[in-house]
Amino acid sequence: MKLSQLAESIPGSAILALGNAVKERIRKGEKIYNHTVGDFDPAIFPIPALLEEEIISAYKNRQTNYPLAEGNADLKETLSAFIRDFQGLHYPASDILVAAGGRPLIYAAYQVIVDPGDKVIYPVPSWNNNYYVQLTKGKHCVIETAPENHFMPLAEEIAPHIKDAVLLALCAPQNPTGTCYSTEQLKAVCRLVVAENERRGADEKKLCILYDQIYHLLAYQDAAPADPVMVCPEVRPYCIYIDAVSKGFAATGVRVGWCYGPAPVIAKMKAILSHVGAWAPMAEQKAVAAFLRNTDAVKSFLGHFKSRIFDRLQQICKAIRAFKEAGLPVDAIAPQASIYLTVKIDLPGDASVALLNGAGIALLPFSAFGATKSEKWYRLSVGTCRKEAIGPMLQELKNVLEKSREPVHGSQGRGGPYGSLEHSPQ
């Protein structure tokens, strides 16, 4: 059947496809340490108890009809206070839009800014920007970031591409790397955007920043991660923030996200999403509002949750660095935030084949995040990782790495780790 050009050209998510292929092998009985997932095992990392109670009680109280299309007023008031308390920024409820998680909001932001042929700058590796550019028929302007900068895109790398770009899509703390901007790095990026917009004429489109901070509550340094409007208030008219309960509260299936930014942009996003209808469910909106109003419950959950995630990331990072010290071909970037560790596995060919077939360890290659020059780098997620599985997993990893130093006879594995899938850059 002949369908639209978009339907013919849009691929499914490579990240989900790789993850699903691993899940299928697990379902068939293979023992795999699955570190591919950008999600949580609720048996290990449940949602906050108060949030769970509030969801149940909202359904019992028959909160089951349509919510307001742009988000219920009580939730938006609560979010305004949450943004003030946790980020130090003042956004009135009218400049906030609620939807069913981060995705519809990112989609709407692209739709209000990008016309066909418009240039969108985004770093690789990064999460899903390539698909959103394709959905809006924008022009891809890709920045291949470097391990020495923790894979964050720096102002000097963005600057040569900035003329005539309409959107700069940033994610910090970043998926897949688990790394953050320093204040100085982010300030330089924001100043670049402000200067470019001052240069543009009144009838030209401005350059906006889409700032996806869905992992910001999971930052492991003492201070909150750098934030565009905090480090450079002049960028406020051009900065759209994306956030959700999905990662910070291990609530990926609860489907409540929010975005805030310049009033004219948010107003148009509201109009677009009112037709898409990707609203956060009524009961979940009520429950998230009740939970976020209880600052003590939020802080107590985050303290405990973060320490359990960070503990895993650190343990794995430390072991990998010890392997490196012992001369094995691996490395890891110190985790700064999120549920991800950036790991280098310097084996010949595709290391995910050797790891999966030789050690039963599944990681996602940075090529699944659009990177073409970082083929030795992988994302290791701890969202479904049991503490007691870490030791055996590391031992398996060590065995494979040590074996790689022995002379090779014949092929290393039983074929592709993910069946017929290839690690194409999406």
**Dist CA 337 CA 340 (whole Å):** 8
Position of minimal CB gap to ligand PLP: 101
**Residue count of the chain:** 426
Does residue number 298 form part of the binding site for ligand PLP (CB under 6 A)? no
Query: What mask, x for binding ligand PLP by CB under 6 A, covers residues 38 to 67?
Result: x-----------------------------
**Residue 214 in contact with ligand PLP, rule: CB under 6 A:** yes
What gap in Å lies between CA 78 and CA 71, rounded to an integer? 11
Based on CB atoms, which residue is closest to ligand PLP, 72 or 246?
Answer: 246
Task: Tell me the closest approach of the beta carbon of residue 368 to ligand PLP, in angstroms.
Answer: 12
- Reading the block at residue 26, the tokens are 């697990």
Contact 165, 120 (CB under 8 A): yes
What DSSP string describes 28-42? Answer: TT---EE---SS--T
Q: Which DSSP state fits 9?
A: H
Least separation in angstroms between residue 298's CB and ligand PLP is 17
Chosen residue from 95, 212, 227, 284 binding ligand PLP by CB under 6 A: 212
Sign of the torsion angle spanned by Cα atoms 354, 357, 363, 366: positive
Note whether 273 binds ligand PLP by CB under 6 A.
Answer: no
- The single residue among 19, 228, 248, 257 that binds ligand PLP, judged by CB under 6 A, is 257
Q: Would you say 135 or 159 has its CB closer to ligand PLP?
A: 135
- The answer, yes or no, to whether the previous bond of 225 is cis (omega within 30 of 0) is no
- Indicate whether 72 belongs to the interface with ligand PLP (CB under 6 A): no
State the Cα–Cα distance between residues 333 and 318, nearest whole angstrom: 10
The one-character DSSP state at 336 is -
14 binds ligand PLP (CB under 6 A): no
Among 80, 175, 342, 404, binds ligand PLP (CB under 6 A): 175
243 touches ligand PLP by CB under 6 A: no
Residue 244 interacts with ligand PLP (CB under 6 A): yes or no: yes
| C-beta closer to ligand PLP: residue 258 or 323 | 258
Q: Does 246 bind ligand PLP (CB under 6 A)?
A: yes
Interface with ligand PLP in residues 90-149 (CB under 6 A): 101-103, 127
Q: Which 3 state secondary structure label does DSSP give 178?
A: coil
Angle between helices 282-293 and 295-325 (to 10 degrees): 90
Measuring CA to CA, how many Å separate 424 from each of 36, 372, 381? 16, 9, 20
Q: How far apart are CA 128 and CA 123, in angstroms?
A: 11
Establish if 252 lies at the interface with ligand PLP (CB under 6 A).
yes
- Residue 179 makes contact with ligand PLP by CB under 6 A: no
Query: Locate tokens 């770009």: which residue?
Result: 165
* Residue number with CB closer to ligand PLP (211 or 238): 211
Residue nearer to ligand PLP on the CB measure, 168 or 347: 168
Q: Which of 152, 165, 171, 259 binds ligand PLP (CB under 6 A)?
A: 171
CA neighbours within 13 Å on the CB side: how many for 268? Answer: 13
Closer residue to ligand PLP (CB): 185 or 252: 252
Whole-Å CA distances, 411 to 350, 358, 400, 415: 12, 12, 14, 9
Q: List residues binding ligand PLP (CB under 6 A).
A: 38, 101-103, 127, 171, 175, 212, 214, 244, 246, 252, 257
